[in-house]
Structure 1
């Protein structure tokens, strides 16, 4: 049977035309429907985006006024949080500073709130006072053992009483909790502490940290089920290497939401001697000098975000540089003294030993931006300043560490060229695995007749400081470790303690303009013999306690700082040390004047730091704890085992009202890049508009695909 051809018969041609017209009309209708649907979807997407952005950017809308809705860098919506504003007043006399910090907690919501705010303090500060101010009422805090203070606070909180708790998480990280803030209420928490200025590079410096930088937390995460209260923990889980990680990582405000926690700051500076210059390095300040020569400073902008360290320095006029400074204190029938002695600089010196200099540089994500530029500039200057007799090596680290050479090489034109290319290849990214890099720097054996110096450049943003300190003490040998703190908010605890255990010194670089001068000061220290084997001998009645008990080596232009305690400080202190082959001796008269200056708290703080630094094989943990508690309770200061707590007796919150809030967010330090620290930031808006758009595109694709499939089937029918 022959097959009928649709092409050659008029009837088949007419049927095909009719079928083709129907397909055309159907395709036209479907295309119009798809276009209308796409237009409606696009319009709806635009409306959602406009309204979403308008809501996020609006200022003064009812929802924004009712509560502070914040998003952290992991994209999570933070719980309702009180607003915070801080005022800092610093009163400097000579080289002693008394600092008053006032935190104003404001509840903008319609709920009863609790706020937990973590903030940094100088690691040597002695915190001795806590006040809670509610209107005209002032409640004084009292020192209790840490566990007891926590129980008192929680009982008052759960009972509806206003209470505050100040505790130490690390030597430079503190936490202030405030419970039962009524809707619309403002409560002030006032903290007072003592601090001593540092003398370096022929000037006095006073540094006050204002923000806790995010720490890199190494180790395996422990179960989150072990956390009793998730609203009172930070962004990191506790790990087997950092068991308190959740308590030192407060939520970090997404920079796209702006800055929070404004700070106002004022300084009264009475140096006691004629001043040549007073400089605020990172915060523009207005200055005036009164009739008695006292300098008064305040922030030029009135308030600034709490996002970088405050650094004030002052230099005395030529001829007034101190050779020794003495402050005394009488407290509870005991006398205390703080003594600064500046040994004379050597007139002429020659390094008796050639050097091996190991440069270790952090190029992890937290160093991104200005910090990396500062570190690279400092490295280039250091490498260029090497002498032909020097040998050197470079170690860079982030998630992993790499060495330029397998062992130190002579500083030749070829090796220096390789070093500069190595520096140029560094990019700030990844985590901060500091331990392996430090281990490599300390592993090489010291050679006879060569002095080994390690220069460590980092922001120190790690949570496992104690493990690093232990490594330094165990592996240092005859090497010397010098730390260079980089960035707007370096971890000063790590910088100072690492240099202390490494028998070196520490330097800070907070701005690119400081690189040359700061590194020049470091070069002078590296190139001059240290004052070592320092000892003190008391020539007076009774015995005295000296802190630190292990006196450090001193480098060029560095003073010896010691604290004394005795029943009667009336005699002479004989000091002796060696610089190279020469012996230095000096005698200082000590006589307490009976004035109360608060020096006793600084002595106690230093003694506690010394006890905490002792390894367990020298002092058992339980005995160490008891000694620290006894000292802290006696001198009424906050310590690793004591806290300040204040409770208002009347019940404020009705029992039928709940309590919201928890750990409050902090700013990202100035110059830091969130994506480099936490990875790609999550979107804070809902993905619904994006999903709607994607769905529209997929639907249109399905329609077009269906159209082509239909055409294919119709073509097959027509050719049969």
Structure 2
């Protein structure tokens, strides 16, 4: 039971903690509460920027310039990229500023594809070209594009921001004048991830190539989710340098702050606050930035309730960590491993994935059954059906996995069909727990088709995604795990494989809390997200956002 009152109830810190977080809640919670409806609406709107221009009409996040009527593009020199985060408790606000220049004596249109976190709520876009500053205006996608095309043909300054996927955005900037400087400023907010006693913030810096099948299965918007590739020999010595600064106010005393992706410099103004920057200053934007922090023992949040009133409505965010599960008898499982062996996994990614899978095979118990599926352009499984995890079968699987190589396309659908059969239990007719572990970089463009397959064929299985590599498709990995009622684990380096997989094993081998329901106080009208409470695994909190007409009474879960 949890009290729903106007003042905040929290076990996280003193009175002034997270003041900034409260100021940000209404915007984030409005989007979160609307859930799927919001996602549909966001896909249909575009940000339009427009201002008059006085020049003649033009006949990894990077800005490519191209002349009117030409398909050839060259990269605008990137002068600087600065990213600033302000973290207050479980909420982060980010400000991204990228400065480009047009060194040419001609007018150009710029095309800018860049990644953002899949749960980012973009609330501001500003464009500065020379001395002019223009702010974003939200319009329906078709209307915004028509206005942009009209402005471009009339020689006016205009920019168009499209959400191609929740984690991929495209900006087009029309009529960039000779030797002008272009500054793109973007701000967003997000709720941070809390898992296994750690908060984490991840900032994507790479838009990886997305695989799309040819012919009738080709994704319609593949060009819009594929970053333009410059011709060999034209890229020069660009390194896409980025500087990152994080102002962290955790609200509780901190035990540690670390980054698994970059070397960082950390200053500690107080026991609950940290100032973090990249140790090397600006660094190449060639891998995602990840930062995590752990509250001091005894100070980890058990419950946090934040509220904000806006326009006569109350918005709330609840984070509740269930009591630690008692370890009982180990339940027999049927575990299906899916390994991505497509060409995008070549190099360190396939080594990480194979090492992770070998560790997983070694954790199988005598009462478990298992199978292994690998896919690239085609999918194949080791056994015709799941087999007992005998020492001989496990050794055979380890040898088979060790011989696999990364090559070919990324046809995920056949592998999902082999792994998910719609059954409620094991393939032998038993009621054993059925778990599917999917190791991939997620570099596909047909996410919606795959999500549909998971919905249709999940049955009683649980799907756990393991993101491999320096820049996996976190939108696909996160949503696939949500639909599969499992969890998402990210492994960025080989050195993390053992730690991350051990944490995942703890979830798989621990009793799960299922069938959770939220009962709002009598007489309170509430719209909450997620509408269906997911299964809870060890070390994971319940995070619930809601819009309410009043704050009174007790919430029961």
- The 5-angstrom pairing of residues 235-274 of structure 1 reads 240-253=217-230, 257=235, 259-274=238-253
Describe how 1:166-245 pairs up with structure 2 within 5 A: 166-220=161-215, 240-245=217-222
Q: 2:258 aligns with which of 256, 276, 279?
A: 279
Q: State which of 104, 112, 116 in structure 2 corresponds to 1:109.
A: 104
> Take 1:290 and 1:471, find their aligned partners in 2: how far apart are those partners?
50
Which deviations, in whole Å up to 9, do the C-alpha atoms of 1:421-442 show, x marking residues without a partner? 1111111111111110111011
Q: Which residue number in structure 1 is paired with residue 3 of structure 2?
A: none
1:635-714 superposed matches below 5 A: none
Q: What is the CA RMSD across the aligned residues, in angstroms?
A: 2.1
Residue of structure 2 in register with 1:306 after alignment? 285
Partner of 1:437: 415
Is structure 2 residue 526 aligned with structure 1 residue 532?
Answer: no
Secondary structure of 1:489's aligned partner? coil
DSSP 3-state at the match of 1:500: helix
Task: Show the counterpart of 1:382.
Answer: 360
CA distance in 2, matches of 1:86, 1:357: 44
Per-residue deviation, 1:464: 0.8
Q: Does 1:317 align with 2:317?
A: no
Is 1:83 the counterpart of 2:77? The answer is: yes
Match of 2:151 in 1: 156
Structure 1 CA distance for aligned equivalents of residues 297 and 271 of structure 2: 20
> 2:130·2:180 contact (CA, 8 Å) conserved in 1?
no
Structure 2 residue 357 is the aligned partner of structure 1 residue 363: no
* Unmatched tracts of structure 1, length 5 or more: 1-67, 221-238, 576-720
Q: Is the 8 A contact 2:152 2:175 kept in 1?
A: yes
1:127 is matched with: 122
Distance (Å, rounded) in 2 between the aligned partners of 1:157 and 1:365 = 39
Specify which of 556, 577, 598 is matched with residue 538 of structure 2: 556
**Within 1, Cα distance between the matches of 2:184 and 2:477?**
30
Structure 1 residues 255 and 213: CA distance shift in structure 2, 3 A: farther
Q: Are positions 1:336 and 2:315 aligned together?
A: yes
- Separation in structure 2 between the aligned mates of residue 441 and residue 141 of structure 1, nearest angstrom: 45
CA contact (8 A) 1:167 1:175 kept: yes
The change in CA–CA distance for 1:127 and 1:70 in structure 2 (over 3 A counts) is closer
Residues 254 and 371 (structure 1 numbering): CA distance in 2 closer, same or farther, change over 3 Å? farther
Distance 1:97 1:488, change over 3 A: same
- Inter-CA distance 244–560: structure 2 relative to 1 (3 Å threshold): same
Output the CA distance in 1 between the equivalents of 2:218 and 2:482: 22
Structure 1 residues 516 and 330, CA gap change in structure 2 (3 angstroms) = same
- Answer yes or no: is 1:100 the counterpart of 2:82: no
Unpaired runs of at least 5, structure 2: 1-62
* Match in the other structure for 2:44: none
Whole-Å separation in 1 of the counterparts to 2:270 and 2:397: 55
Q: What is the alpha-carbon distance in structure 1 between the residues aligned to residue 151 and residue 173 of structure 2?
A: 11
1:487 aligns with 2:469: yes
Deviation at 1:138, TM superposition (A): 2.8
> Given that residues 336 and 569 in structure 1 are in contact (C-alpha distance below 8 angstroms), is that contact kept between their aligned partners in structure 2?
no
Aligned partners of 1:541 and 1:569 also within 8 Å: no
Q: TM-score under structure 1 normalisation?
A: 0.65
How far apart, CA to CA, are the structure 1 residues paired with 2:520 and 2:123? 30
Which of 232, 257, 267 does residue 288 from structure 1 map onto? 267
Q: Which has the larger radius of gyration?
A: 1
Q: Residue by residue, what CA displacement relative to the aligned partner does 1:301-349 show, whole Å, maximum 9, x if unpaired?
A: 2222222111110000000011112222222221111111111111232
Q: CA deviation at 1:123?
A: 1.2
1:115-163 residue CA offsets vs partner (Å, 9 max, x unmatched): 1111111111111111122455432211111112212222222222222
- The separation in 2 between residues aligned to 1:302 and 1:496, in whole angstroms, is 31
- Residues of 2 paired with 1:272 and 1:191: CA distance? 26
CA-to-aligned-CA distance 1:41-95 (integer Å, 9 cap, x gap): xxxxxxxxxxxxxxxxxxxxxxxxxxx9999xxxx99423422342211110001
Q: Does 1:346 align with 2:325?
A: yes
Q: Residues 97, 147 of structure 1: CA spacing in aligned structure 2 closer, same or farther, 3 A cutoff? A: same
TM-score for both structures, normalised by structure 2: 0.84
Structure 1 residue matching 2:520: 3-state secondary structure: strand
Higher RCO (Cα < 8 Å, 6 or more apart): 1
Q: Secondary structure at the match of 1:349?
A: coil
Tell me which of 481, 485, 492 is aligned to 1:503. 485
- 2:259 and 2:373 map into 1 onto residues whose CA distance is 34
Cα gap change, 1:165/1:346 in structure 2, threshold over 3 Å: closer, same or farther?
Answer: same
Contact 1:540 1:570 in 2 (8 A): no
**Partner Cα separation in structure 2 for residue 182 and residue 135 of structure 1:** 9
Q: Which moved more, 1:308-317 or 1:533-542?
A: 533-542
Distance (whole Å) between structure 1 residues aligned to residue 495 and residue 359 of structure 2? 13
Task: State the SS of the aligned residue for 1:366.
Answer: helix
Superposed CA offset, 1:216-252 (max 9, x none) = 10141xxxxxxxxxxxxxxxxxx64411111111123
Q: Please, which moves more after superposition, 387-396 or 280-289?
A: 280-289
Higher helix share: 1
C-alpha distance 260-525 of structure 1, shift in aligned 2 (>3 A): same
